[in-house]
Copies of this chain bind each other. A is one copy, B any other.
């Protein structure tokens, strides 16, 4: 590939993606961002009543409807394909479109149901969108790199092109899921915004002036506008949780070794100090439960050697549920949960609407009978500074080689890698030192967590920690500047869930004029307090238990 014609190759790919959208689903004159910043209602004019009914449903509801025979997999699939096609024209959220294969798969599922009078699996008929790291037969994986077009992970003639499938894809098919599209990512995957030279910038459906988040930004935008009920992203520093939060979704970042990553494309693959994990994003918690349980029921440890033999724990789930029900006064055992609350990390202060969301959540938990106590953990600054090293172990060699394949430029959002010099690459000795630091920080945090048993009235240490996902709501282009509220979880390898709490309200979420900034970064972010947007709070689980 000549390095001079990357624009032409990117355009060809961009056009091919668009060309996969059936004529009848095209929007003849899509509105500009200025004309129509919020397209969540706008999109609905193009959909039939039946399509609207279907696409309004969550994944668990769809599984129930298909399982009971009320809906066919084909009808469900067609509805979501249509809505996804519209979404891409408004948001630039898709990298691969394979609606024809999806509809054929759906027909096969319907035939299976007719013959066997039962579903193929727990996800029978549920459309599932995939971040463009999954390999799916029949389509490419570019991960946003122009140089990966027509290759397998940048290599030509491997024989795997458009044939090889990731382990998780096989499990999804066996569970009855319908795969229909792959969603956009920032090239390198290392950004809280989604931008690349193939599809451009992925927009937030509630306000297209803002980012949909990243790196699973295509998933966030697509599920946010209900073009998919359920999707899979990946997370090495917040990449599931950021787009979930910015689009009002539930997102699960499991601990490593829980869900199968084998056979996925990745960036800086082989960096083993802080691992990327795969996890689901959906419109409700029940759908996260559905797909996570489906994965574990497939015994993924039989197929991915890095997955631990840890089935779904009903015992852990029941013991939590008991305390939830007890707190609601539904039983007499007096159980309740106790949450640790991290309002601010001491590095960058959360903006006013984030603070309001936290307060809303705390009030709701306390009203339900639970306790919320302060969380004063070991330094998050140290944790984040150490974790950052794992992202730059190779001084950008891997991503630079991917850019070099086509000669395309790097987006400003990932310019970090462009600025690193070859001689900054870590040696084995440096990496070992970092690994020892990470281990010590994990131990220190675990000890702190255990110590909270002294401050609760449950007889247990804190059950979960609540903290903002980011100090700001959805950012404007180029303004995702601070990752510390999501990255600490990756270093510690805790299970974390984003839970939508509220949306920004201009009438109450004014700038905090008296804010005393810690430093320049803190001040800059606080001054960005202009264009609020839907934001969310992270609910964090300490250790791998039920899910």
Contacts and interface: CB of A to CB of B under 8 A. Distances in A.
Interface of A: 257, 262, 268-273, 301-306, 308-310, 393-395, 397-398, 425-436, 439, 442-443, 445-446, 450, 492-493, 543-545
Contacts of A257: 308
A523 to B, nearest CB: 34
B429 A427 contact: no
A433 B545 CA distance: 32
A398 B429 contact: yes
Contacts of A436: 269-270
Nearest to A269: B436
Query: How many copies of the polypeptide does the oligomer hold?
Result: 2
A428 B393 contact: yes
Contacts of A435: 270-272
A465 to B, nearest CB: 15
A271 B394 contact: no
6 smallest beta-carbon distances between A and B, as pairs: A270-B432, A305-B442, A393-B428, A270-B435, A394-B428, A270-B436
11 contacts: A270-B431, A270-B433, A270-B436, A303-B446, A309-B545, A393-B432, A394-B429, A394-B432, A425-B428, A425-B429, A426-B427
B269 A302 contact: no
A272 B270 contact: no
Contacts of A442: 305-306
Contacts of A262: 439, 443
Contacts of A445: 305
A301 B494 CA distance: 13
Given A271-B428, A271-B432, A272-B272, 12 more contacts: A270-B435, A271-B435, A301-B543, A302-B446, A303-B446, A304-B443, A305-B493, A308-B544, A309-B543, A309-B544, A394-B432, A431-B431
Contact of A305 (B302, B310, B443): B443
Contacts of A310: 308-310
Contacts of A426: 427-428
Contact of A272 (B273, B303, B398): B273
A488 B443 CA distance: 30
A271, A303, A431, most chain B CB atoms within 10 A: A431
